[in-house]
Amino acid sequence: MRSVVISAVVAVAGGVCGALLSQNETLFAAKVSAPASDPAINWTTPAIAGYGKVHYDASSAFQPSSALSNKVVFKVSRGAEERSQVNPALEHVAQVVNTYVAAGVPAKQLKFVVAVNGEATPAMLENTRFRQLFGVDNPNLALISALEQQGVKVTVCDQALAWHHYEPQWIADSVIHTPSALTTMTTLQNQGYALLSM
């Protein structure tokens, strides 16, 4: 009985410490900034112009290859710090696309799906509704469009829409509705997609 009580106390204390640490902005800040301008570094955006800058080095190990399936599902749950900022996780998706294309994998061979839920859900709103709710234009729409032009499927979780009290018609037309981001990810993983949490 004593070991059960001790285990319970340790579990509760660990949970409290974990919760406190996860709220510490210094330790877990979700900040993404553009790379510093450095003339010695060649930044490029070969597929998604203006988003997801990469420095590509062909001599690096573990290069993307067109000989592989290149099937990836991206979990995007975190929102931007400011509504006027592009969602940093979507920017990272653009960086992955740019890295693959820089390595010589044609964008048409990429099978990339973005599964959006949680705090990232507002980024999927069409501009009129976004402006009505947040007072600024939706800065994510141009990036979503650029991703889709490269064949990336951007999806939103209908459960997240319900939690946010968003009507389905408030979502940008190009965004695909799914029953759940979780089932999108598990379904695609069962089809051989790699999962990247952004």
DSSP assignment, residue 50?
T
Q: What is the pLDDT of residue 25?
A: 43
Mind listing the pLDDT tens digit for each residue in 163-174? 999 999 999 999
User: Closest by alpha carbon to 46, among 150, 152, 164?
Assistant: 150
Residue 24 has pLDDT above 60, yes or no: no
Strands of the chain, DSSP E: 71-76, 111-116, 153-157, 176-178, 194-197
The CATH architecture assigned to 41-197 reads 3-Layer(aba) Sandwich (3.40)
For the chain, give every domain's residue range: 41-197
Tell me how far apart the alpha carbons of residues 72 and 194 are, in angstroms, rounded to a whole number.
5
What was the pLDDT predicted at 116?
98
pTM: 0.80
